[in-house]
Structure 1
Amino acid sequence: MTAFRALALQTRTTAVNAAGDPRAEIRAAVDRVGRQVGASKAWIGRDLRLVVLPEYALTGFPMGESVAEWRDKAALDPDGPEYLALAEIAARHDVFLCVNAYERDGHFPELYFQACVVLSPAGEAVLRYRRLHSMFSPSPYDVWDRYLRIYGIDGVLPVARTEIGALAAIASEEILHPELARALALRGAEVLCNPTCEASSPMLTAKAVARRARAVENLAYVVSANTGGLAGIAIPGDSTNGGSELIDYEGRVLAQAGPGESLVAAAEVDVAALRRFRRRPGLDNLLSRVKTRLWAEEYGRHDGERPDGLAGGAPERAWFAARQAETIERLHG
């Protein structure tokens, strides 16, 4: 299949922070996703093959909870009932379903990671990307040596080659980090799934600008799903509401949703056209003009954020801010 419809499904997020039974809230969110994916497929048509959900659509995000508290309250098990139910939704509706969730890992029982997982129409997890850039949550880079020994670099920067094209994932504000999108594109990614939960505005935000830039720089489609509002916490519910969008490899916005729960951010993804464009010589074939060895050497000269900061176990929340302050001092002190 070289052309299909993709949907950035803009659905409401109900936070579980104050829930009496967080697991019941998560189950309810999965059920709502199932109903909305089915209704969206019926509305858009049988050629809907990719659905991207917003960032942490099942749980919301931590609001002061310790790493241990949030792991127990909101993190999923990779083989747990929530993922099994989501895989069944993907299979029932014949779609690739990209979900973003906090999850546990038996190799790192004291931590959790934020993951983007793509579930196939066969009900299988064909991609599991753990967020690398995170201000207040653990990442693979924080346990780098051991993580690499277990999963390898392909597990850190995965690209899923599927019947609808090569899929990769970028979580939320990671769209602001051009190195990640470039690395995934160099590994062959054609469609970048971007689950996000971000402040929306009728003006171009930094992340909206970055999505267009990442699409142009890497000759890739970007499918970005924002939330359709927040519930269950004190933050005003419409702060992260609207703006889900699809962007093509020339930076054109193909579809964009307004506020509220919505299936409006749906459009055709033409992978065959993208592949032709990537093989076309010219000034705008930016991916072919990257001087990879130069930048690898230059990046290696600078002492930025260091790996393995959490090799000793789960931190207090204050550790994340202290790490950033130390990095800033090294870079600019």
Structure 2
Amino acid sequence: MIAPYTAALCRPATQTVFGEDGVHPGALAANVALYGNLIARAAGEHGARLVVFPQFSLTHYAPLGTDVWLDAAITFPGPQADAIGAACRKAGVYAVVQTAEKHPAFPGRYFLSSAIFTPEGELGLVYRKTYAMSLRTSPGDVLDRFIDVFGADALFPVLHTPIGTLATLIGAEVHWPEPVRALALKGAEVICNPVAAVQSIDYLNRAGAEIVRPVRAFENAAYLVMANYADGAVESAAYDFQGAGIGRKVDQTFTLATIDIAALRASRAGPTADFLAQIQPDLHRGMYDAPLWPANSFADAAPSGFDALIQQESAVRMRLEASWGR
């Protein structure tokens, strides 16, 4: 039996690492140190067992080219990751951290990645962002090479722990049902969602984005906890396995949520309550025969700019509409 525990959604007041003269390593080191302090506070002041940090909070965001992002990117493992792991070990907590990542198997490219650290200070998993357009490399862009390097399980990894099965998705990825469902079908019970929502939860201000997260929690019978950027107007939030909001803002830095894995498992075991157990895959096997986004689209080189991504999206849309016969 897993006793209920506290998840702390943290909004650290970090500093940007991007300057007119390039990336400032001192700023990155200061942000890592602040993470360590806040991990200690979350555990010591609030009894948290899980701490979730926002998207881009380790570096901040800048609309700059790949070379600059590579300079700001870290490695897993590496000195910054090791320092965060040491803070988790000292505090005895799990922590979710999102950042740009570089990897020697993909020279000249960077991923937007989210790592889950364990109370032993180890890397429990590293997830590389799949959905939502940006100039980072997506696993789907280099799918064959990605699987060769990391294995197919690394596309949507989950971490089985004494506080439940943890997973993470980054930013707007939850706008698509597929990545959330992929994690849920692998047993995910707490899906951690680092975001960087500045003016609104969706940069296009679409009303439906406001309800996506509780819907994803409801339809997958899983907790979904979202930590937002300190500079953003949107509060961090958490939803239980029935889609109810459970976040409690206690100050400008922390929003807390109670995670009750025993209650989640009991609910899933109830008659008609587990939507996952009622999925009928034989009805849907033809769904992805549609001419959708192809894998390995940027296998040889990263997208040259957003125009390349928009061109790809337009081509897919035209093929899809042609398949409808209109």
Give the TM-score, by structure 2 length: 0.90
SS in 2 for 1:253: coil
Q: How far did 1:198 drift?
A: 1.1
Work out which of the residue numbers 236, 241, 255 in structure 1 matches 2:247.
255
The aligned residue for residue 276 of structure 1 is: 266
- Is structure 2 residue 230 aligned with structure 1 residue 241? no
The aligned residue for residue 115 of structure 1 is: 113
SS in 2 for 1:327: helix
Contact residue 175 and residue 207 of structure 1 kept, 8 A = no
Instruction: Please give the alpha-carbon distance, in whole angstroms, between the structure 2 residues aligned to 1:68 and 1:204.
Output: 32
SS in 2 for 1:135: coil
- Is structure 2 residue 107 aligned with structure 1 residue 105? no
Structure 1: state its 5+ residue gaps: 230-239
Instruction: Please give the alpha-carbon distance, in whole angstroms, between the structure 1 residues aligned to 2:261 and 2:207.
Output: 27
Q: How far did 1:13 drift?
A: 4.5
Q: In structure 1, what residue type is equivalent to 2:171?
A: S
SS in 2 for 1:85: helix
Q: How far did 1:18 drift?
A: 2.1
SS in 2 for 1:254: coil
Q: How far did 1:242 drift?
A: 3.5
- What is the correspondence of 1:53-68 to structure 2 with a 5 Å cutoff? 53-63=53-63, 65-68=64-67
Instruction: Please give the alpha-carbon distance, in whole angstroms, between the structure 2 residues aligned to 1:76 and 1:327.
Output: 33
Contact residue 129 and residue 138 of structure 2 kept, 8 A = yes
Q: How far did 1:256 drift?
A: 4.5
The aligned residue for residue 160 of structure 2 is: 161
The aligned residue for residue 27 of structure 2 is: 25
- What is the correspondence of 1:99-248 to structure 2 with a 5 Å cutoff? 99-136=97-134, 137-200=136-199, 206-229=208-231, 240-248=232-240
Q: How far did 1:61 drift?
A: 2.5
Contact residue 215 and residue 249 of structure 1 kept, 8 A = yes
Per-residue displacement from partner, 1:104-135 (whole Å, max 9, x unpaired)? 11111121101110000101111111000131
SS in 1 for 2:19: coil
SS in 1 for 2:7: strand
Instruction: Please give the alpha-carbon distance, in whole angstroms, between the structure 2 residues aligned to 1:127 and 1:207.
Output: 27
Q: How far did 1:62 drift?
A: 3.7
Work out which of the residue numbers 296, 301, 304 in structure 1 matches 2:292.
304
Q: How far did 1:220 drift?
A: 0.3
Q: In structure 2, what residue type is equivalent to 1:114?
A: L
Q: How far did 1:201 drift?
A: 5.1
SS in 1 for 2:17: coil
Q: How far did 1:11 drift?
A: 2.1
Instruction: Please give the alpha-carbon distance, in whole angstroms, between the structure 2 residues aligned to 1:312 and 1:93.
Output: 43
Q: In structure 2, what residue type is equivalent to 1:314?
A: A
Q: How far did 1:28 drift?
A: 1.0
- Is structure 2 residue 290 aligned with structure 1 residue 294? no
Q: How far did 1:205 drift?
A: 5.3
The aligned residue for residue 323 of structure 1 is: 312
SS in 2 for 1:51: strand
| Superposition CA RMSD, Å | 2.1
* Larger mean Cα displacement after TM superposition, 149-158 or 190-199: 149-158
Work out which of the residue numbers 43, 46, 60 in structure 1 matches 2:45.
43
Contact residue 167 and residue 193 of structure 1 kept, 8 A = yes
Instruction: Please give the alpha-carbon distance, in whole angstroms, between the structure 2 residues aligned to 1:58 and 1:51.
Output: 14
Number of residue pairs the alignment of both structures matches: 315
Instruction: Please give the alpha-carbon distance, in whole angstroms, between the structure 2 residues aligned to 1:293 and 1:116.
Output: 33
Q: In percent, how many aligned pairs have the same letter?
A: 30
SS in 1 for 2:58: coil
Q: How far did 1:168 drift?
A: 0.6
Per-residue displacement from partner, 1:258-315 (whole Å, max 9, x unpaired)? 9x8321x212101011111111112x4222211223223212x211111111211233
Contact residue 176 and residue 207 of structure 1 kept, 8 A = yes
Structure 1 298/6 Cα, relative in aligned 2: closer, same or farther at 3 Å?
Answer: same
Structure 1 204/142 Cα, relative in aligned 2: closer, same or farther at 3 Å?
Answer: closer
SS in 2 for 1:145: helix
Instruction: Please give the alpha-carbon distance, in whole angstroms, between the structure 2 residues aligned to 1:207 and 1:195.
Output: 15
- Is structure 2 residue 97 aligned with structure 1 residue 84? no
Structure 1 293/13 Cα, relative in aligned 2: closer, same or farther at 3 Å?
Answer: farther
Instruction: Please give the alpha-carbon distance, in whole angstroms, between the structure 1 residues aligned to 2:107 and 2:7.
Output: 35
Structure 1 67/320 Cα, relative in aligned 2: closer, same or farther at 3 Å?
Answer: farther
Q: How far did 1:70 drift?
A: 1.6
Q: In structure 2, what residue type is equivalent to 1:34?
A: G
Moved over 6 A (4+): none
Per-residue displacement from partner, 1:7-51 (whole Å, max 9, x unpaired)? 111223533332644221111111111122222322212xx1000
SS in 2 for 1:142: helix
Structure 2: state its 5+ residue gaps: none
